[in-house]
Amino acid sequence: MSDSSLPEGYRLREAFEVSAADARVSLDAGDAILVDCRLDDEWEFAHVDGAVHLPLGEIERRADEIEADDETLVLVMCHHGVRSLRAALALQQLGFPQARSVVGGIDLWSQRIDPSVARYERGHGGCKAV
């Protein structure tokens, strides 16, 4: 079975990741919370409504701000899925066994799930619309 919200040929690591489509279903059902681990300027440029903003560098110090029990999916999003994977692994170690990175991050989210979320590139001058 193919998931069109995954990059073509991507092999999902279910212990650490979730597809954008599955994340959307879980969020809509109220079975998950979304944590955005991007930098402040990225968050200000674009974010998914309802997400909790905890930059990657603050995850360990601020993990107690995440209101989730052992059964709640904690979905973590960044720009493309690299930082969110690091954050999800850290959160698993900090007592959030259901922490998962959203594959493709907010960039893939805006392309395949919600095109109203702005796409951007990061550069020396901050975020720039794509």
Say which CATH class 17-129 falls into.
Answer: alpha beta
The one catalytic residue in 23, 37, 78, 102 is 78
Tens digits of residue pLDDT in 1-17: 457 788 888 999 999 99
Distance CA 48, CA 126 (A): 19
Domain ranges (residues) in the chain: 17-129
Tens digits of residue pLDDT in 90-108: 999 999 999 999 999 999 9
- Asked about 78 being catalytic, the answer comes back as yes
User: Can you give the length of the chain in residues?
Assistant: 130
DSSP classification of residue 125: T
Tens digits of residue pLDDT in 60-87: 999 999 999 888 999 999 999 999 999 9
* Closest-CA residue to 120 (of 79, 81, 71, 88): 79
pTM for the whole structure: 0.93
Which residue has 């020396």 as its token pair? 124
